[in-house]
């Protein structure tokens, strides 16, 4: 897992892991979720990867566009 840069200083995201067709997001409460090309889909996953690398906007994107559409809770 790679530490989320959190440029805003207010994110609930702690870390992330990027794979070819997925992203795993770990929240500060310890919960980890897998988002894949299957769910919520390629467009969302690729957007999430970019936001994760930039270190800003990932939690907002998830709450506004993805919600509970994750592939698995790990």
Q: What pLDDT sits at residue 69?
A: 97
What is the pTM assigned to this prediction?
Answer: 0.94
User: 13-33, pLDDT tens digit by residue?
Assistant: 999 999 999 999 999 999 999
Which pLDDT value is given to residue 6? 86
For residues 2-36, one letter each, b for 16 or more C-beta atoms within 10 angstroms of the residue's C-beta and e for the rest, the string is: eebebeeeebebbebebeeebbbbbbeeeebbbbb
Residue 70 has pLDDT above 90, yes or no: yes
Average predicted confidence (pLDDT) for the chain? 96
CA distances from 9 to 21, 27, 34, 51, 72 (A): 28, 14, 23, 15, 27
């Amino acid at each position: 897992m790679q530490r989320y840069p959190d440029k805003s200083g207010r994110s609930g995201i702690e870390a992330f892991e990027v794979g070819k067709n997925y992203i795993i997001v770990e929240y500060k409460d310890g919960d980890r979720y897998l988002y894949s090309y299957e769910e919520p889909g390629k467009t969302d996953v690729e957007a999430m990867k970019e936001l994760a690398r930039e270190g800003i906007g990932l939690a907002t994107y998830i709450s506004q566009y993805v919600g509970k559409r994750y592939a698995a809770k790990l």
